[in-house]
Amino acid sequence: MQSSIYPKKLQSGDEIRVIAPAKSFKPSFTEEMKASAIKRLGLLGLKVSFGKYVNEVNEFESTTVEHRLEDLHDAFRDQNIKAILTVLGGTTSNQLLKYLDYELIKNNPKILCGLSDITSLANAIHTKTGLVTYSGPHFTLFGADKQVDYTMDYFRKCFFSEDTIDIKSSDKFCNNRWDKEEIENGGFWIINHGEARGTIIGGNLITLNLLQGSEFMPDLSNSILFLEDNDKESIRAVENHLQSLIHQPSFSAVKGIVLGRFQIGTKMTRELLTKIVKTKKELDNIPVIANLDFGHTTPMVTFPIGGECEIDTKNQKIEITKH
């Protein structure tokens, strides 16, 4: 893995570009929701523009590889664009990896932020170029009704400041971005105790695992893994995905694991997750903390892939020290 390149922080007045490297805009995301998202980003002083092909939708809820690449490369090439947000996740980002212009990206470093399927794109770009990328809200999440303030606060902390980010639990959460019901948050789950510092790698677990065996898979040495999965995955699938990651040659040098909140549909509980972790000997000597605000529930923190983190379970401290 190359040395980390940190993109410049944002300032009021900056323009950000919205692109669709996975799913395009759906008709269900109305013009009213889009206006709400633009308004919220405007409260941060940001101007929003869109890629040419964000509304093109085929039978895979996406568009052609060529059009997605054009929008992504244009966003990195355009010197007026200071950050890139994705529309949504999906299943198709890994189609782009062989065709990305990594030299263009490396020579024009800027913020790239998204989650879920964007995990493959974000980790591949970091692996190939050293550019620190970000797991955080899609553009569409700024159009949600509930629990947006926490998401915006951590978005601002990550992209407008160099200060250390101390991750605290939200008071309440919603099971997905469009839910109206707010659920009391139970705080962090400390599963294995310990202290660690390392480089953040991760995002969506199943999507990260799609990179295994390829030139795009990040080195896990000296990393703190930030991992999450959505309710399309069963408890058994989550355990399987975690075991697959443990089998990676560099996993023995992982320093710690931080797990995002599981959606209700997975039927994951603290007791079941503890049992999964405790039955894997490879995890015995590293700290494991779960139920953090990132993944497919809302609200969420924004974290840097390639940035630095420190964890201390005794004091329930999780700090992003470099982002």
**Contact status, residue 45 vs residue 22, Cβ threshold 8 Å:** no
Q: What are the angstrom distances between the C-alpha of 222 and each of 64, 198, 254, 306?
A: 37, 5, 5, 11
Q: DSSP letters of 202-219?
A: EEEHHHHHTTTTSTTSPP
Residue 172 and residue 306 share a domain: yes
Per-residue tokens: 237: 């699938």
Q: Is residue 143 part of a domain?
A: yes
DSSP H or E run through 107: helix 102-107
Residue 203 and residue 98 share a domain: no
CB within 8 A of 315, min separation 6: which ones?
none
Residue 172 and residue 286 share a domain: yes
Arithmetic mean of pLDDT, 182-189: 93
pLDDT above 90 as % of the chain: 88
Residue 171 and residue 317 share a domain: yes
Residue 56 and residue 180 share a domain: no
Confidence of residue 230 (pLDDT cuts 50, 70, 90): confident
The string of pLDDT tens digits covering residues 127-140 is 999 999 999 999 99
Residue 274 and residue 217 share a domain: yes
**Contact status, residue 59 vs residue 90, Cβ threshold 8 Å:** no
Confidence of residue 1 (pLDDT cuts 50, 70, 90): low
Residue 176 and residue 121 share a domain: no
Q: What are the angstrom distances between the C-alpha of 289 and each of 57, 67, 187, 224, 258?
A: 39, 40, 10, 11, 5
Per-residue tokens: 58: 């085929």
Residues spanned by the domain of 130: 15-164
Phi, psi torsion values for 152, nearest 5 degrees: -65, -35
CATH number of 117's domain: 3.40.50.10740
Residue from 254, 310, 263 nearest 291 by CA: 263
**Nearest-angstrom CA–CA distance, 239 and 247:** 13
CATH number of 229's domain: 3.50.30.60
Q: Is residue 248 part of a domain?
A: yes
Q: Is residue 4 part of a domain?
A: no
As a whole number, the mean pLDDT across the chain is 95
Residue 30 and residue 117 share a domain: yes
Q: Which residue, of 117, 143, 164, is where some domain finishes?
A: 164
Active-site residues: which are they?
116, 228, 296
Neighbours of 308 (CB within 10 A): 18
Pairing of strands 133-135, 195-204: unpaired
Residue from 291, 233, 42, 40 nearest 146 by CA: 40
The string of pLDDT tens digits covering residues 57-116 is 999 889 999 999 999 999 999 999 999 999 999 999 999 999 999 999 999 999 999 999
Q: Which residue, of 140, 164, 188, is where some domain finishes?
A: 164
